[in-house]
Structure 1
Amino acid sequence: MSGCTISQDKIDQAISFHGHWCPGLAIGIRASELALRELGKDGDEDIVVVAENDTCAVDGIQYLTGCTMGKGNLLFKDLGKMAFSFYRRSDGKALRLFFTPPAEGSYEEEFYVLQKKSATEGLTQEEKQQMQAIKDRRSDKIMEADLEAIFTVTEPDNPEPRRARILQSVCCDKCGETMMETRSRRLGGKVLCIPCFDAMDSWQ
C-alpha cells in the first residue's frame, strides 16, 4: 500500500468502521486522501461532500473526512457514478473526483463470471476464496496507484450545497406523524407526509 499517504492506523480504523476490506472502501480512502490534500480538514462542517453513489466508498469518505449525513455535510445524489464532489465553505474551493479503475489484467473476466454465478446459483468455497483474492488484488492496485492515475479531477458543475437548516415541523392529516415542512405534500386540502401522499395519489 505504498502509494497511499494515509497512515495504516487510519486505514485499519476505516476498515473497522466499514466492517470489511474491499475495493469500494479503498476508493473512498484514496478519494479522501486527494480531497484532504487539496482542501484540508478545517472546522466541524467546513468541508461538504456530495456522493453520486451509495457504495462502500462513502463509508471511507465519511470516516476520514468527518463528513456525515447527520451534520448535513455528506449528501447523496443517486446518479450511480463513482464520483464525489468536495466543497470548502471557507473560500469556495471545490473539486469533483471521478474514479477510473486501474487496469485489472487477466483476472477481470474471471471476476465477472464469479460475480454472476454468485448472484444466481452461489459459489463453492474454493470459488469464494478466488473471488476474495481478486477483490484483494483490486484493492491493492487502487491503494498503490498514483492519485492522478485513478481520479479525473474537475470543478463541480453544481454550486456548493447550502448549510443544513432546522425547519418547522407539520403534522400529517392522515397518519398523524410529524415531518419537516419542506417534505410535506398537499392533496385535496390536506397536509400529507410523502408515504400517505403516495398511497392516496396512486388511487386518484
Structure 2
Amino acid sequence: MEDFETLLKGSAMAHGHLCPGQVVGVRMAIEGCRLIGLDNPRELPQIKKLIVYVEMDRCATDAISFVTGVRLGRRSLKFVDNGIMAATFLNIETKRAFRIVSTENARHLAEKYAPEITDKREQQLVAYKRMSLQDLFSIEEVQVAINACDMPGPTRFKAVCQKCGQVVRDKREVMKNNQILCRPCALGTYYQAIMK
C-alpha cells in the first residue's frame, strides 16, 4: 500500500478537497486493511477479497473508497445508513472482519494533538494525522454474515415484478399479498412522477 501522505493527497483530489474527514477515512482504511491482512487492496487479486460496509455518506466514505478501491458498482462497497462515522472491513477469503468507529472524543483531543493551531478545522486536520489510533478510533473484531446475493460478481438472482414488469436483481424483490414485487411497487418510492 502507498504511504499515508500519498493516499491522503490522492483521496483529497478524488473527493475534491482536503478535510478532516479525509484524514479519518484514509487512516481508517489503512488500519482496516492491515487488520484483515490486505496490503494492496486496489489491485488483483486482493480487490476480489474485500468488502467494506460504511455507515455514513460523508467525506470519510470517499477516502475509504479511494484507499481500498471498493465501489458500489463492484458490489464491494456496502452502504448502511446508520449516520455513524464507522466502517467494517471484511476479508471474504478469511472471513476476518473489523469494525472501526471514529470516536467523538477525537474532536475534543484535537487541541491536545495540535495546540499550535487555533482554527478548529485546521486543528482537526493536523491532529487527526498525529493522533494515536487508540484516541482516534474504537476498533472491534466482528463477524459479518454475508448472503450469496450480496457478494461481488455477476448477477445470480433475478425476479420480475408482477405489477410493473421491472426486473429486480440480487434478491431485492418483496413478497406482498402472494406477489413478487419490486420495492417501489411494494413500499413506495423516494420520488414522485410529474404528470404532464
Q: Distance in 2 between matches of 1:186 and 1:18?
A: 39
Match of 2:127 in 1: 141
- Contact map agreement 2:49 2:93 (CA 8 A) in 1: yes
Q: Distance in 1 between matches of 2:172 and 2:179?
A: 14
The answer on 1:11 being equivalent to 2:14 is: no
Match of 1:153 in 2: 139
- The SS at the match of 2:87 is strand
Moved more, 89-98 or 59-68: 89-98
Q: Distance in 1 between matches of 2:34 and 2:175?
A: 46
Match of 1:86 in 2: 89
1:137 corresponds to which letter in structure 2? Answer: Q
1:97 corresponds to which letter in structure 2? Answer: I
Alignment of 1:49-128 (within 5 A): 49-100=52-103, 101-102=106-107, 103-105=109-111
2:51 corresponds to which letter in structure 1? Answer: V
Going from structure 1 to structure 2, the CA distance change for 1:87 and 1:181 (only over 3 Å counts) comes to: closer
Q: Distance in 1 between matches of 2:33 and 2:188?
A: 44
Match of 2:28 in 1: 31
Q: Distance in 2 between matches of 1:191 and 1:98?
A: 38
1:44 corresponds to which letter in structure 2? Answer: I
Q: Distance in 2 between matches of 1:77 and 1:171?
A: 25
Going from structure 1 to structure 2, the CA distance change for 1:15 and 1:176 (only over 3 Å counts) comes to: same
Larger Rg: 1
1:9 corresponds to which letter in structure 2? Answer: T
Q: How high is the sequence identity, in percent, across the aligned residues?
A: 24
The answer on 1:44 being equivalent to 2:33 is: no
2:163 corresponds to which letter in structure 1? Answer: K
After superposing on structure 2, the runs of 4+ consecutive aligned residues of structure 1 that deviate more than 6 Å are none
1:177 corresponds to which letter in structure 2? Answer: Q
What do you get for the CA RMSD once the two structures are aligned? Answer: 2.7
Q: Distance in 2 between matches of 1:146 and 1:88?
A: 24
Number of aligned positions between the proteins: 170
- The SS at the match of 2:74 is coil
Alignment of 1:183-194 (within 5 A): 183-194=172-183
Q: Distance in 1 between matches of 2:66 and 2:135?
A: 23
- CA offset digits 1:57-111 (Å, max 9, x no partner): 11111110112222222212222222211122232332221211242449xxxxx
Moved more, 89-98 or 49-58: 89-98
- The SS at the match of 1:182 is coil
- The SS at the match of 1:87 is strand
- Contact map agreement 1:185 1:192 (CA 8 A) in 2: yes
- Contact map agreement 2:32 2:89 (CA 8 A) in 1: yes
Give the TM-score, by structure 1 length. Answer: 0.71
1:154 corresponds to which letter in structure 2? Answer: E
Give the TM-score, by structure 2 length. Answer: 0.73
Match of 2:18 in 1: 21
Q: Which runs of 5+ in 1 are unaligned?
A: 107-129
2:152 corresponds to which letter in structure 1? Answer: A
1:86 corresponds to which letter in structure 2? Answer: F
